[in-house]
Chain A
Amino acid sequence: MAQEEKSRSGCGSSSSTILQFLPFNSLVDEGFWHSLSSLKLNKYGIDDSPIPLTGFYAPCSHSQVSNHLTLLAESLPTDENNQSSMPAISRGNRNRCPVPGTLYNTNTLEAFHALDKKSLLKEEANKIWEDIHTGRAVEDSAVLSRFLLISFADLKKWSFHYWFAFPALVLDPPATLVESKRASKWFTSEQAKSVSAACNDWRNSSITADVPFFLVSIASNSHATIRHLKDWEACQADNQKVLFGFYDPCHEKGPGWPLRNFLALICSRWSLKSVHFLCYRESRGFADMESSLVIESLITASQGLNDRQLVPNAVGWEKNKNKYVSRCINLAKSMDPIRLAVSAA
C-alpha cells in the first residue's frame, strides 16, 4: 500500500512523501438549530459573546462513509438560568465522543461575514497549543480536537448561515509518510486478535469509551494493552512496542484530521522522530483490523515545537463543495409557526 502511495504521488524516495490528512466534516442535526433559536430568543438576546459547545464524533463504523463532527440539541448549554452553563453532557456514550467547541453567533449577516476568521482560528489553535504544553491534553485527550462555529441565525426567515473550522496545528516541515498498511497486514494475526480484543474492551467500558486518543502497547508475547496517554513513560520502561492510537472518523485511505494535533502533541511533548499510529476504525461497532490502518511516519519538525511562545500556524476552515464558503440552511418548514399551521390544517 505504501508502495502504491509513493508511485501514485510520483515521489521517488519515501522521505519526500508528505503525510496527508483527510479533513473533518460537520453535520448539524435539526435539533441544534431549534435549541439555538430558543436560546437566542429567551436567553442571549443581542448578546453575541462566544458560547461553549460540545460536538460529538465516533470512529468510522461503515466502510462507505466517514463519521462527522455532529452537533445536536444537547451540544448547546441548557436553557436554564445558571449563568456559567456549559453543555450538560453525560460521558461514556461510545457513539458520542465529546469535542469542545466555540460558537460565535452574530446578530447580523454583515457581522457574520465581517468576522475575522483567521484570528478566530488562531485563537482556538492557541487553546490547543496551551493544552499541549500544560499537559492537559495528556490528561483529557478530548481537548486535542477542538472546533469553531460561526453563525448568523436569521430568526425572521428561519434560516441559518454557518461555517465550521477544525483547527489543526501545522508542522513545518510536514511529517512524512514511511508506510501505511492495513492493521490486519501490519500486525501478526496473534497481535491483531489481541489488539482487537483490547480495543473492544476499551470501547465497551463507559470510563474509556469516549477517550479518542490512546496508546497501544504490545508485549513480546503479542499481548496488546490499551493505555491512557499519561501512561507513556510507563510503557517505555516496560520496553514494549508502542503505537499511538486514535479514533479515526474517516473511511478512506486516511488518516483522518484528529491525528494532526495528536502529532503536534507527540513531537512537542516526547520529541519522537519515528512514530507508529493506529488509525482505529470499526465495523458494525466492533474493532475492525481490515479497515484500521497502521501508519509509520517520520517527524522532522521538532525545532520550535518545544517553545510554548511559538504557536504553529493553524488551518482547518471547512470547505463547502470544494470552496471556502459558508453554508446556509432554511428551516421555515419546520419552524415557522404560520407554515406549521397551514400544514396542520
Chain B
Amino acid sequence: MVLSQRIHEAFKGTVERMTGPRTVSAFKEKGVLSVSEFILAGDNLVSKCPTWSWESGEPSKRKPYLPAEKQFLITRNVPCLRRAASVEEEYEAAGGEVLLDNEDDDGWLATHGKPKETKGDEDENVPSMEALEISAKKSLIQTNPSYFGGEEEEDIPDMEDFEDPDNLVESDPATLQTTYLVAHEPDDDNILRTRTYDVSITYDKYYQTPRVWLTGYDESRMLLQPELVLEDVSQDHAHKTVTIEDHPHLPGKHASVHPCQHGAVMKKIIDVLMSRGVEPEVDKYLFLFLKFVASVIPTIEYDYTMDFDLGSSSS
C-alpha cells in the first residue's frame, strides 16, 4: 500500500468514527444507500440468489451500526474459468461491449467494440487513485501463481521433500482416479484457468455504498496472492480502481473495487432507468450494483444474472 492510499485510509477511518451512519434515504438522488437500505437490499439478494449469504466475520472487526449476524454478504467458490485479459482481447476483436471509462460515459458499456476515439484524460475524475501502483506485471503472471513456494521464500523446501517417510499409498478400486489437470481450455503457457473466488460485499460507511472484495484460489485451491487477482479484473480497472487493502471483516489483504465512484455510477444507472419510466426500488440496488461490478470482473461467474424486475414499471 502506498503512502497516499494510507493517508486516505486514515482520513476515511477518522470520518467514519466521527460521523453517524446515513439514516435518510438518498438512493435516487445520490445513488447511495443508508445502512437499513443495505440490509434490505442484502436480504433480497440472499433470498433471490441463495448462493449468497450474510456472515458476521471476525468478532473484533464487527461494525456496531450493522446487525451482528449481517455484517457482510459473501458467495464462495465462484468459478473463474479464464483470465480477464484474454477475454477482453477476444471480445474487442469480436466487436463486443466494452466499458466506456471517460468523463461522460462513466462505467457504461459500448455495445459495438471499443469507441474509436478515446480521450487522453480519462483518468482524471478518479481522485486519489493515480498514485496507486499495482504491480500486475506480465512477469508476475507467469510465475508464483500462489502462496506456495513464492520466489522470496527460499526456505520452502521442494515438494519432493514432503514425500512421506512411510510412503503413504492408498489403493482402493472405488476411488476415482482424477487427473489433476482440469483446465477447460488448453493454453500454451500451461497455466490452468479454473480459479475460484470468494466474492464479498461490505458496506462502506464513508462512501455510503456497497463495496466488493475478492479472494482468489488457484486451481489446486491454494490462496492466490491478491496481486494475481488483478489478472481477473478488467484491465481498464486493474491499475486504478481495484486496490489491495485490509478487508473490513476478514483477516488478510484482499483485492477490492474502490467505491469512490460507486455512488455516481449507480446514480447514472438509476437516472437511465427513471428516464425509461422505471421506478427503481431500493431492495433491487444490489442486483444493479452487481451488474455494474460485472464490467470490472467480467470472468468471475458469481450469481447476478437472474431475471428480475428492476422496479415497478409505469410504461
Contact = CB atoms under 8 A, between A and B. Distances in A.
Interface of A: 18-23, 25-31, 34, 61-62, 64-65, 67-68, 70, 73, 90, 93-96, 113-114, 116-118, 157, 159, 161, 170-171, 174-175, 203-204, 260, 284-286, 315-317, 319-334, 343-345
A21 B175 contact: yes
B180 A321 contact: yes
Contacts, number: 158
Contacts of B50: 94-95, 203-204, 284-286
Interface stretch (B24-32, B100-108, B166-174, B276-284): B166-174
Contacts of B155: 157
B49 interface: yes
Given A70-B76, A285-B49, A26 B221 contact: yes
A330 B221 contact: no
16 contacts: A21-B174, A34-B251, A62-B78, A64-B79, A64-B81, A64-B194, A65-B77, A95-B53, A113-B165, A284-B49, A284-B50, A324-B164, A325-B162, A328-B156, A328-B162, A334-B253
A93 B53 contact: yes
A344 B1 CA distance: 6
Interface in B32-63: 49-53, 58
Contacts of A67: 77
Nearest to A38: B251
Given A21-B174, A327-B148, A329-B223, A30 B49 contact: no
B58 A31 contact: yes
A22 B252 contact: no
A174 B301 contact: no
B178 interface: yes
Listed from nearest, the 9 A-B pairs whose CB atoms lie closest are: A285-B50, A20-B176, A34-B251, A30-B252, A285-B51, A65-B79, A27-B221, A334-B252, A315-B170
Nearest to B227: A333
Contacts of B223: 28, 30, 329
Q: Which of B58, B81, B150, B174 has the most CB of A within 10 A?
A: B174
B82 to A, nearest CB: 11
A315 B175 contact: yes
Contact of B164 (A113, A175, A203, A286): A113
B164 A325 contact: yes
B303 interface: yes
A170 B196 contact: no
B6 A344 contact: yes
B53 A170 contact: no
B69 to A, nearest CB: 8
Contacts of B198: 29
A55 to B, nearest CB: 13
Nearest to B221: A27
Interface in B193-223: 194, 196, 198, 215, 217, 220-223
A323 B161 CA distance: 12
B159 interface: yes
A320 B220 contact: yes
Q: Which of B1, B155, B175, B194 has the most CB of A within 10 A?
A: B175
Given A62-B79, A64-B79, A344-B6, A31 B251 contact: yes
A68 B58 contact: no
Contacts of A330: 147-148, 150, 153, 156
Given A30-B250, A65-B79, 20 more contacts: A22-B178, A34-B251, A62-B301, A64-B184, A65-B196, A68-B77, A94-B53, A95-B50, A95-B53, A96-B53, A118-B166, A284-B51, A323-B159, A324-B164, A324-B167, A325-B162, A325-B163, A328-B148, A328-B162, A344-B6
A25 B303 contact: no
Contacts of B77: 27, 61-62, 65, 67-68, 70
